[in-house]
């Protein structure tokens, strides 16, 4: 693993300044547009420990940068701490890794360690961070001590505005690219896609548009971009006609899908490609970079983003994840009817419109208090520190109703007190592409005395991260994160946490840990 040490600078550390659906709203009356996987509310005032003060809204540290320098604060990178103290990454709201791991464990197998991405485990759970009033983010930074001396887990929580009502959004122009290869004949693949798309057709608005592209060894536009008002029967007929055939040419499907999306491009609408596939490419281009090169111009010129829906017990996780990361989108995984309802009723509505483009985060650790640190996960989303404010460098696209969590393992200097870290998120306005920034900070006295006695949301984050860490190192009794418990102890912690929160999703996490312990 790579750990980052800090050097004590000759002068005082300069602080970071304030530069820095598919079933769109109608699947069920009781759904919440703010949930990650659903479940209980965490991190509201009145929890097990007092909430940290909200970041300030002034132009100083903890404030917000709206594209113009304030008093010379933002016109030089010299205001930032030494790069050795920085950690920079593009935001990522993928959750497919956790969903696929649960499916694999339920099938009686340990997931391949290469498919386990800790940030996707962590981001699969709802967090009730403070929300902004408009586009962009709020920043919450907290943490807790671990059982290993001088080591803590520090959490950076980012939240976008709540998703609005269905009638408040712009029309959607959605191009569905559906895998109809032979492998999609397995129950829970194409049949699940057909049912989900059929339900979606009944719930989308009349002013929304849908196109349908299928691919096996070749790709075909089955339905050009079609307004739903007065044409739902035609859309249903196209969906009902989906049948599995031969090989899997993902490259052809993506190329034809983007061509169809460009041909049906609607000004003033949210234009998006939705890929539904097991991503087991075996014909034509099979590498993500080669596939994306074919659609690069359409993606860049028209801003068409990608949403990947993975299916199947055998699933090309690496290909789908790479396509989504490079296609300015993200992925989810669907294994059954319950997952399909979650994705098509709750998650995808948050991905029709955008709250932020090219979003990146940078965390500055204070070398007076921090000896070393490590970002947990985000291995494919790291960004060079000097590129944080270079808006030509790709970030992540995030919709309304999302929360994004990053977790750090941090070793503090013995007896150190005071400022610990400042986190800054930078994004472009989805319409004007004006840059904005928001910051938040944490002090050493803001750390809870134990991750197991912290506020429930932080404990859920730690439990998910420890579980992912254990799955990535299946031959070791203990994981690589500081304070990592053995799986048996982690199971007990997760079970107690599920009882404490009454959250079904935490209960499912405990069940997954139990399955891993049996298999391990």
pLDDT top residue among 53 and 394: 394
Direct distance between the N- and C-terminal alpha carbons of the chain, in angstroms, rounded to an integer: 22
Residues 375 and 328 in one domain: no
DSSP of 220-259 = EEEEEEEESTTTHHHHHHHHHT----S---HHHHHHHHHH
Which pTM was predicted? 0.81
Residues 377 and 482 in one domain: yes
pLDDT for the residue numbered 33: 35
Looking at 323, 351, 379, the residue that finishes a domain is: 351
Among 100-104, 165-169, 281-285, 340-344, which stretch is predicted with the lowest mean pLDDT? Answer: 165-169
Helix axis angle, 456-472 relative to 96-106, nearest 10°? 60
pLDDT for the residue numbered 221: 97
Residues 206 and 328 in one domain: yes
Residues 220 and 103 in one domain: no
480 pLDDT exceeds 50? yes
Identify the domain containing residue 474 by its residue range. Answer: 83-163+356-519
Residues 382 and 276 in one domain: no
Rg (CA), the chain: 23
The pair of structure tokens assigned to 158 is: 């980012």
- Do residues 510 and 488 lie in contact, with contact meaning Cβ atoms separated by under 8 Å? no
Among 72-76, 129-133, 306-310, which stretch is predicted with the lowest mean pLDDT? Answer: 72-76
The CATH number of the domain holding residue 260 is 3.40.50.410
Rounded to the nearest 10°, the torsion over CA 114, 120, 125, 126 is 180
Domain contains 467:
yes
Looking at 334, 351, 368, the residue that finishes a domain is: 351
Residues 362 and 396 in one domain: yes
Domain contains 46:
no
Residues 293 and 427 in one domain: no
Residues 120 and 201 in one domain: no
The CATH number of the domain holding residue 384 is 2.60.40.1230
The pair of structure tokens assigned to 371 is: 């000896």
Structural domain tally of the chain? 2
Among 452, 486, 456, 457, which Cα is nearest to 469's? 486
Domain contains 306:
yes
| Runs of H (alpha helix) within 81-222 | 96-106, 118-122, 190-203
Q: What percent of the chain has pLDDT over 90?
A: 54
Looking at 283, 318, 351, the residue that finishes a domain is: 351
- Do residues 207 and 241 lie in contact, with contact meaning Cβ atoms separated by under 8 Å? no
Residues 304 and 182 in one domain: yes
Question: Do strands 219-227 and 330-334 pair parallel, antiparallel, or not at all (unpaired)?
Answer: unpaired
| pLDDT tens figures, 433-466 | 999 999 999 999 999 999 999 999 999 999 999 9
Domain contains 14:
no
The helix/strand/coil state of 364 is strand
pLDDT for the residue numbered 61: 29
The helix/strand/coil state of 433 is coil
Domain contains 327:
yes
| β-sheet bridge partners, residue 332 | 309
Residues 183 and 147 in one domain: no
pLDDT for the residue numbered 82: 53
Phi first, then psi, for residue 340 (nearest 5°) are -60, -40
Domain contains 47:
no
| pLDDT tens figures, 483-507 | 999 999 999 999 999 999 999 999 9
């Amino acid at each position: 693993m790579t750990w980052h040490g800090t050097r004590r600078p000759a002068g005082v550390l300069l602080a970071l300044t304030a530069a820095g659906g598919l079933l769109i709203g109608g699947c069920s009356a009781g759904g919440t547009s703010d949930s990650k996987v659903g479940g209980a509310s965490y991190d509201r005032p009145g929890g097990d420990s007092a909430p940290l003060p909200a970041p300030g809204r002034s132009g100083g540290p903890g404030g917000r940068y709206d594209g113009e320098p304030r008093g010379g604060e933002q016109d030089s990178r010299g205001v930032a701490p030494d790069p050795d103290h920085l950690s920079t990454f593009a935001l990522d709201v993928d959750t497919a890794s956790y969903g696929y791991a649960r499916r694999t464990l339920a099938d009686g197998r340990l997931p391949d360690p290469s498919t386990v991405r800790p940030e996707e485990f962590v981001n699969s759970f709802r967090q009730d961070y403070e929300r902004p009033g408009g586009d962009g983010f709020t920043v919450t930074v907290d943490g807790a001590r671990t059982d290993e001396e001088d080591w803590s887990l520090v959490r950076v929580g980012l939240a976008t505005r709540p998703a609005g009502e269905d009638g408040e959004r712009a029309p959607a122009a959605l191009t569905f690219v559906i895998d109809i290869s032979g492998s999609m004949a397995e129950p829970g693949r194409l049949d699940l896609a057909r049912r989900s798309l059929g339900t979606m057709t009944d719930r989308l608005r009349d002013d929304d548009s849908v196109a349908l592209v299928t691919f096996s060894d070749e790709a075909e536009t089955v339905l050009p971009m079609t307004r739903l008002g007065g044409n739902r029967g035609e859309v249903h007929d196209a969906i009902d006609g989906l049948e599995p055939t031969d090989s899997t040419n993902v490259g052809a499907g993506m190329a034809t899908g983007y061509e169809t999306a460009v041909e049906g491009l609607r000004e003033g609408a949210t234009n998006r490609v939705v890929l539904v596939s097991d991503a087991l490419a075996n014909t034509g281009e099979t590498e993500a970079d080669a596939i994306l090169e074919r659609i690069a111009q359409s993606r860049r010129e028209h801003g068409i983003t990608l949403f990947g829906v993975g299916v199947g017990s055998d699933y090309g996780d690496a290909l789908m994840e790479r396509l989504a990361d490079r296609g300015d989108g993200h992925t989810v995984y669907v294994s059954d009817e319950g997952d399909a309802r979650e994705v098509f009723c709750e998650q995808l509505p948050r991905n029709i419109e955008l709250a932020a483009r090219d979003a990146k985060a940078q965390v500055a650790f204070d070398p007076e208090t921090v000896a070393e640190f490590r970002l947990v996960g985000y291995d494919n989303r790291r960004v060079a520190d000097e590129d944080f404010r270079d808006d030509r460098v790709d970030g992540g696209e995030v919709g309304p109703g999302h929360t994004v969590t990053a977790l750090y393992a941090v070793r503090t200097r013995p007896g150190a007190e005071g400022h610990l870290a400042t986190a800054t998120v930078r994004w472009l306005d989805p319409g004007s592409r004006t840059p904005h920034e928001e910051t938040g900070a944490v002090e050493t006295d803001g750390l809870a005395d134990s991750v197991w006695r912290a506020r429930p949301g932080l404990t859920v984050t730690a439990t998910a991260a420890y579980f992912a860490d254990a799955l990535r190192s299946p031959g070791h009794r203990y994981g690589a994160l500081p304070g990592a418990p053995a799986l048996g102890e982690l199971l007990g912690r997760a079970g107690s946490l599920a009882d404490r929160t009454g959250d079904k999703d935490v209960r499912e996490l405990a069940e997954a840990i139990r399955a891993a312990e049996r298999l391990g």
